Amino acid sequence: MSIQIFGLPVSRGVAIGRAVLVASSRVDVPHHFVDPDLVNEEISRLLDARDVVAHEFEVLKRDLPPDAPSELAALLDVHQMLLQDEALIGATADWITSRHYNAEWALSAQLEVLARQFDEMEDAYLRERKADLEQVVERILRTLGRGAPSVVTSAKDFGGDEPLVLVASDIAPADMLSFKRSVFKGFVTDVGGKTSHTAIVARSMDIPAVVGARQASHLIRQDDCIIIDGDAGLVIVDPSPIVLEEYRFRQRQSELERGRLARLRHTPAVTLDGERIELLANIEMPEDGAAALEAGAVGVGLFRSEFLFMNRGIDNLPDEEEQYMAYRAAVDAMKGLPVTIRTVDIGADKPLDGLSPNELRHESVLNPALGLRAIRWSLSEPSMFRRQLRALLRAAYHGPVKVLIPMLASLHEIRQTLENIAHVQRQLTESGKPFGTVELGAMIEVPAAALTLPVFLRHFDFVSIGTNDLIQYTLAIDRADEAVAHLYDPWHPAVLQLVSTTIKQARAAGRGVSVCGEMAGDPVFTELLLAMGLRSFSMHPSQIASVKQRVLRADTRRLAALLEPVLQSDDPEETCTHLFPAVATPGLAGKTLLSVAA
């Protein structure tokens, strides 16, 4: 039976491969590959954890009070039995050996397999043993979590010859990072919106992805053959031979198209009327600089520095020296081109160690997107913030660095930020450490900042519009929530007004202005942004060629004359489609239907 699952198309192209399921678990588990040489060590980690849990059960049973109900002892026996069952531990060890999963991933994958078997059992008593199995696995996972973690490897070639695609309920940003440059040819997740960080990282890896595919991780089984249609937001499980052939053909076509676009790499981005357009790269790690140069970027417009912080515990955040080395590596990689580094944007869907900054302080948080996030967290942790600023200024000694501050909304935050910068400049001068001057920029991603832009233009050298958050906060739509993803609308007139007036005012004040949200890399918006006067776009390296193609065909004078009707329109998307015929219809974007076909 072939199944079709619809979600949100977030990263274009077609992937065909064998499904690798990352099971969701109540315990936050790391997922990564282990080096083939360390497989035996990883199995020992698993067996040691099993033995620790077995001992815990023995102690629990021994210490049961004499009047404890006899069911309790029986239950502990069941747990002990499950723990020793080869179907659990032996099969988990097989996952480690055959797939090189780390022990936690292997164990949760095996739990998924066994849980399905329990679900299908006729006998109600046996079916209920699934809960016991989950408890046992949870204990082993927690024990593994307390011990030394396994060694992470980038795992370039563990998949054999067959392409693999990753299917999960959700993928934590930290896991996503360890999957970066790994074997996977595509991603499918049950949750997430178009600008959730899973989607952003998938785009940065330039591999097809569908998010918000609701039931995908339940309907898809380990090793199923699946097609990911990243243009339509469609996942086809177990396709018929005809469908498979059709998609293989489309895959070849899109590879040819990519090859054609790659030829534009060294063509300067200049419009028909001679306007030079700056196409910059968004990166997550210093080593992404190579891909940026390869794609023809003329600099980095957004280095999301929080990715250096994310897969570490609060007690193990990168110190000044480690950050300095990372920023300097990005500067060196870009060979004299400017590198815009954003100070940490931790919070919302980019937690530290699975916890938002509020939660790290043991404060409950109902809505992390409105909580202690980005610059708010930095200002509340001055020594952490100053460590980062010192590292940034020191890296600026080696090449042009611009520092970008996320999520600013008010003058007092601007003042505090500037005071911190002045403070670290004094510190560095006193210590005699060499440092450079930086241009300072503010992200415009909160409506309050866009509406009070002159304040920002007085204090900053440039502004960069973060449309992902600007849309989220203008429309009150959680960008990571697939239940409201159909309401997340870059075409909303309020959003376009804010983007347009920000560009206009910044240009009038002689300040640099760029867009670094996902709108900048979507060719559907290229003409409109040019019409608004934008001359600097920052996007994933993989998107540069498609946007450049639009730039090369554009005439900014003609486009500028068409802007007003779009901004005055009740339905800017429709107006734009008439005025700029090159604007493509976004296909099935927003559709979250689940259709199961026989």
Q: How far is the CB of 406 from Mg ion (least distance, A)?
A: 6
Q: How far is the CB of 538 from Mg ion (least distance, A)?
A: 12
Residues 468, 479 contacting (CB under 8 angstroms): yes
Residues 210, 185 contacting (CB under 8 angstroms): no
Residue 284 contact partner, candidates Mg ion, ligand PEP, none, CB within 5 to 8 A by sort of partner: none
Give the range of 51-59, 181-189, 422-430, 441-449 binding Mg ion by CB under 5 A: 441-449
Give the range of 59-67, 192-200, 303-311, 443-451 binding Mg ion by CB under 5 A: 443-451
By CB under 5 A, residue 138 contacts Mg ion: no
Measured CA distances, 359 to 133, 151, 383, 389 (Å): 29, 28, 19, 25
By CB under 6 A, residue 516 contacts ligand PEP: yes
By CB under 6 A, residue 185 contacts ligand PEP: no
Number of residues that bind ligand PEP (CB under 6 A): 11
Token look-up 């509406």 returns 451
Residue 467 contact partner, candidates Mg ion, ligand PEP, none, CB within 5 to 8 A by sort of partner: ligand PEP
Residues 302, 516 contacting (CB under 8 angstroms): yes
Q: Catalytic residue among 32, 79, 100, 516, which?
A: 516
The correct pick among 112, 231, 284, 445 for binding ligand PEP (CB under 6 A) is 445
Give the range of 41-49, 393-401, 464-472, 484-492 binding ligand PEP by CB under 6 A: 464-472
Q: Which of 376, 375, 447 is nearest to 404 (CA)?
A: 375
By CB under 6 A, residue 466 contacts ligand PEP: yes
Token readout for 135 is 């408890």
Give the range of 75-83, 108-116, 259-267, 459-467 binding Mg ion by CB under 5 A: 459-467
Residue 481 contact partner, candidates ligand PEP, Mg ion, none, CB within 5 to 8 A by sort of partner: none
Residue 516 contact partner, candidates ligand PEP, Mg ion, none, CB within 5 to 8 A by sort of partner: ligand PEP
By CB under 6 A, residue 345 contacts ligand PEP: yes
Half-sphere exposure of 20 (CA within 13 A, CB side): 26
The verdict on whether 576 is a catalytic residue reads no
Token look-up 């930095």 returns 378
Number of residues that bind Mg ion (CB under 5 A): 3
Which residues lie below 8 Å from residue 155, measured CB to CB, with a gap of 6+? 32, 33, 100, 182, 183
Eight-state DSSP code of residue 344: P
Three-class secondary structure of residue 241 per DSSP: helix
**Separation CA 317–CA 271 (nearest Å):** 44
Residue 387 identity (one-letter amino acid): R
CB nearer to ligand PEP: give 8 or 219.
8
By CB under 5 A, residue 466 contacts Mg ion: yes
Token readout for 284 is 């997550």
Burial 550-563 (b: 16+ CB within 10 A, else e): bbeebebeebeebb
Token readout for 587 is 């296909």
Residue 112 contact partner, candidates Mg ion, ligand PEP, none, CB within 5 to 8 A by sort of partner: none
By CB under 6 A, residue 304 contacts ligand PEP: yes
Of residues 467 through 496, those in contact with ligand PEP by CB under 6 A are 467-469
By CB under 5 A, residue 541 contacts Mg ion: no
Of residues 192 through 251, those in contact with ligand PEP by CB under 6 A are 200
Residues 516, 225 contacting (CB under 8 angstroms): no
By CB under 5 A, residue 469 contacts Mg ion: yes
Residue 25 identity (one-letter amino acid): S
Q: How far is the CB of 504 from ligand PEP (least distance, A)?
A: 19
Which residues lie below 8 Å from residue 330, measured CB to CB, with a gap of 6+? 283, 286, 289, 300, 303, 339, 341, 395
The verdict on whether 197 is a catalytic residue reads yes
Q: Catalytic residue among 197, 266, 412, 486, which?
A: 197
CB nearer to Mg ion: give 138 or 306.
306
Token look-up 């709108």 returns 519
Three-class secondary structure of residue 9 per DSSP: strand
CB nearer to ligand PEP: give 175 or 229.
175
Helix boundaries (H) for 440-492: 447-451, 453-459, 467-475
Token readout for 79 is 């747990």
Give the range of 161-169, 277-285, 437-445, 491-499 binding Mg ion by CB under 5 A: 437-445
Give the range of 86-94, 253-261, 463-471, 521-529 binding Mg ion by CB under 5 A: 463-471
Residues 107, 140 contacting (CB under 8 angstroms): yes
Which parts of this chain interact with ligand PEP (CB under 6 A)? Answer: 200, 302, 304, 345, 445, 466-469, 516-517
Active-site residue list: 197, 516
Applying CB under 5 A, the residues found at the interface with Mg ion are 445, 466, 469
